[in-house]
Amino acid sequence: MCCIDVTNSTPISMFLPANSGQGSCALALNNFLVTLHNDFIGRCKSLLKDESRPAEIPLANITKAHLVAYDPEKDFLPMILAHCDYSLKVGEETTVEFNWKCLERQLVDRFIRGRPRLMSLVELFVFSKDICDGEVFKALKQKIRQEELTRPVQDQILNELNQLTDVCDVLKSLHIAIGFLSSAGGDPSMSIHEYLHSGLKMTLGNGLKSGRAEQFCQLQHIVSLWLLLSLERARVLTKHKQDPFDDVSDKVKTSLHQKQKFHLNSGLQKLNVDYFVRVLLKFILLYLKHVPDDHLHFPLSQYINAKLEEKECDVIDGLEEYIPEDIKVEHAVEAWKVACQKSEDYHSRMRE
């Protein structure tokens, strides 16, 4: 990643320090420069036999005056010329003598003395969608019981949010709200609309953008609404040949062979494919973004049911019977796309 050329199309995330992903290069560069500065200041104090303890400045507060910063031509060259003596003897070349002691003293006074050590306390960036993982949802459900939105209400909300941009905007607001609610909790019967605007002081432009959602959705429905809109976003992006899982590890995007797709499609005919699509999407977004390597070769059907049991949810009947055992966790994203297409085909036939 550090060898990638930076162009006008490079994502801004490349320059935002983070523990993982594209921001890891910015974090590594930042730590390297801080260490380089501190080592240089420490070495200079040792050579100058300066035993005083240097001040420490957090990175957020530093200015150019705190750093060893200079321009070779504008800073060094005039200083060198000011400390050299020219002598000219008849019949000989001009000789130049430097006053090294005075030059050293001025260099130290101007660029080194008084420079603080830098405290490498970097504020890391976390994207709002990365706030929503399995542990956050677990904490949320412990603080606020969750209920499912009824099917008619879900359909009405999707009819009103018929633009992908609106769906994505509402998801951003929900990500922020879920992050706060998982820590602070809230009244299950409070409307999400009221919480966003009265509790979090969001502007009206950052609301639910759906009259039905504002009317019916309470904090006890926030997981259901998040999953509904996440599913709609993933369906639309997939339909337009875009990747809805750009923030998910490539480890769970292994391709399926044609034979595997055929057997998977056959098995899906015997299951509630809409429910499978919904459950698998939730698992990918919450539990498989950074899945351990030793989980990748578990049969996907067994993995899903084991997770459902762990979360004290009902397992999917027939899942391990009808989903081929050679469909592994590493195939999760491709299996979801196959199931999503199966669901789309079914609903298209029903509308005809």
pLDDT at position 204 is 80
**Which tops the pLDDT comparison, 28 or 336?**
336
* DSSP-assigned states of every residue in 206-267: GS---HHHHHH-BGGGHHHHHHHHHHHHHHHHHHTT--TTTTS-GGG-PPPPHHHHHHHHHH
Name the band, by pLDDT with cuts 50, 70 and 90, for residue 41: very high
pLDDT, tens digit (0-9, with 9 covering 90-100), for 92-143? 777 888 888 898 899 899 889 889 999 877 666 556 555 667 888 888 999 9
Query: With 90 as the cut, is the pLDDT of residue 210 above it?
Result: yes
Rounded Cα gap, residues 50 and 44, in angstroms: 8
Range ranked top by mean pLDDT from 72-81, 116-125, 152-161, 280-289:
152-161
pLDDT bucket at 12, cuts 50 / 70 / 90:
confident
Asked if residue 271 lies in contact with residue 320, where contact means CB atoms within 8 angstroms, the answer is: no
d(CA 305, CA 204): 40
Mean pLDDT of 69-94: 83
Q: Half-sphere exposure (CA, 13 Å, Cβ side) for 60?
A: 4
The structure tokens 């409070």 sit at 190
Residue 275 near residue 123, CB atoms below 8 Å:
no
Q: Is 67 helix (H, G, I), strand (E, B) or coil?
A: coil
Percent of the chain with pLDDT over 90: 53
Query: Looking at per-residue confidence, does 194 or 90 come out higher?
Result: 194
Closest to 34 in 3D by CA, of 111, 102, 119, 113: 119
> pLDDT tens for residues 288-332?
988 889 999 999 999 999 988 887 788 898 999 999 999 999 999
* pLDDT at residue number 2: 60
Cα gap 18→100, rounded to integer Å = 45
Task: Please report which confidence band the pLDDT of residue 18 belongs to, taking 50, 70 and 90 as the band edges.
Answer: confident
Mean pLDDT highest for which of 67-71, 149-153, 247-251, 314-318?
149-153
Q: How far apart are CA 342 and CA 352, in angstroms?
A: 16
Q: What is the mean pLDDT of the chain?
A: 89
- Give the Cα separation of 271 and 276 in Å (integer): 8
Domain residue ranges of the chain, discontinuous segments joined by +: 12-118, 126-244, 247-351
Q: Express each pLDDT in 215-235 by its tens digit.
A: 999 999 999 999 999 999 999
Estimate the share of the chain in helix, then strand, then coil, as percent rounded to the nearest 5.
Answer: 60, 5, 35
pLDDT value at residue 88: 74
